[in-house]
Amino acid sequence: MIKDILKNNLTPIDEYIFGTADLTGLIDKKFGEYRFGISIGKRLDDRIIDSIVNGPTMEYYEYYNQINKELADAAGIIKNELKKSRVDSIVIEPTTSICSKELEKNLSTLTVDVSHKMVGTRAGLGWIGKTDLFISKKFGPRLRLVSLLINQKPDNDFYPIDKSRCGTCNICVDKCPAKAANGLLWDTKTHRDTFFNAHKCSDKCRELAKQRLNVDKRICGLCISVCPIGKKNDKRFTAASTRS
Ligand code: B12
């Protein structure tokens, strides 16, 4: 039923991926019975992502705002449709402003209450790459995510992904302008800070956004642009996406 609601309301459907997840024990107790998740990813435009070569572009920045709005709107529609089927949900917005109360509270760790990437791996849609991006089987890291928490177990099985499939590829590690990653592979027992320095990334994103766009935001996107998975006609893309 949930999958039908998603299929019928995400348009055009080939630009989206979605899945459901069991988040029991993985999110704060304050969410109570809302311990199941829906992960939704929207594909990013190849031309805009490919044009990120030395840092963020104004076009990418405007697009980023537009996609956040599109995803928030889509999640709102799904929430209403779920409600009609008597499923209550909580929308976790695509982004959290660095000045928002939630992130301010967690500024020392750069962590929010619900990680979209975790909902995505639990839904079996992808894994975490070496520069801490969510690498989806279908679009690689070329997507933005939104999540909903629900208080009913979805009527399907879950096939979470527990470890990285990046292997020996180090392209994003080498190209990261912040040198934020050390090349270690992710798995569910490995905390972000073991392989990725989010503060170095944040500082560099801010510096680049100021320099290139004259905005006080954290924007970069180079790690998304250089990843071979999800790039059109890349052999690794096919290999990764066909493994279940
Ligand atoms: C805070 C934040 C930042 C911070 C910190 C980034 C970071 N890596 O943590 C800063 C300002 C640096 C930042 C920068 C960027 N961000 Co940002 N950011 C967020 C935000 C708001 C929260 C992330 C968070 O809580 N991190 C805390 C750590 C602990 O969690 P995590 O890294 O998300 O994932 C860990 C867990 O999920 C865990 N995990 C995964 N599965 C499982 C399963 C189990 C069982 C367990 C135990 C754990 C586990 O593994 C991960 C690594 O340890 C999210 C939105 C959101 N609500 O998720 C966007 C988000 C992560 N950002 C995003 C993007 C695109 C960016 C930038 C490219 C900026 C830009 N748009 O140009 C850069 C690149 C950063 C990078 N390479 O990671 C996207 C990522 C999309 C993708 N393909 O991965 C997100 C998801 C927003 C979105 N709606 O799509 N960001």
Q: pLDDT tens digit string along 154-199?
A: 988 889 999 999 999 999 999 999 999 999 999 999 999 999 999 9
CA distance 102 to 147: 17
Reported pTM: 0.95
Rg (CA), the chain: 17
Using a 10 angstrom Cβ sphere, with 0-12 exposed, 13-18 middle and 19 or more buried, the burial of residue 53 is: exposed
Q: Are 221 and 133 in contact (CB under 8 A)?
A: no
What crossing angle do the helices spanning 2-9 and 58-84 adopt, rounded to 10°? 140
| Phi, psi at 227, each rounded to 5° | -65, 130
Position 234 pLDDT exceeds 90:
no
pLDDT tens across 39-86, in order?
A: 999 999 999 999 999 999 999 999 999 999 999 999 999 999 999 999
**Average pLDDT, rounded, for the chain:** 92
Q: Atom 4 (ligand 1): residue with closest C-alpha?
A: 110
Report d(CA 176, CA 186) in Å as an integer. Answer: 17
CA 168 to chain centre: 22
Does residue 239 surpass a pLDDT of 50? Answer: no
> What percent of the chain shows pLDDT beyond 90?
84
Q: Which atom of ligand 1 is least distant from the CA of 94?
A: 89
Average pLDDT over residues 229-241: 64
* Contact present, 84 and 5 (Cβ < 8 Å): no
3-state secondary structure of 182: coil
- Residues of the chain above pLDDT 70, percent: 91
The strand pair at 16-22 and 89-92 is best described as: unpaired
pLDDT band with cut points at 50, 70 and 90 for residue 241: very low
Q: Which of 110, 125, 222 to mutate to test the pocket of ligand 1 (most atoms within 8 A of CB)?
A: 110
pLDDT at residue 110, rounded to an integer: 87
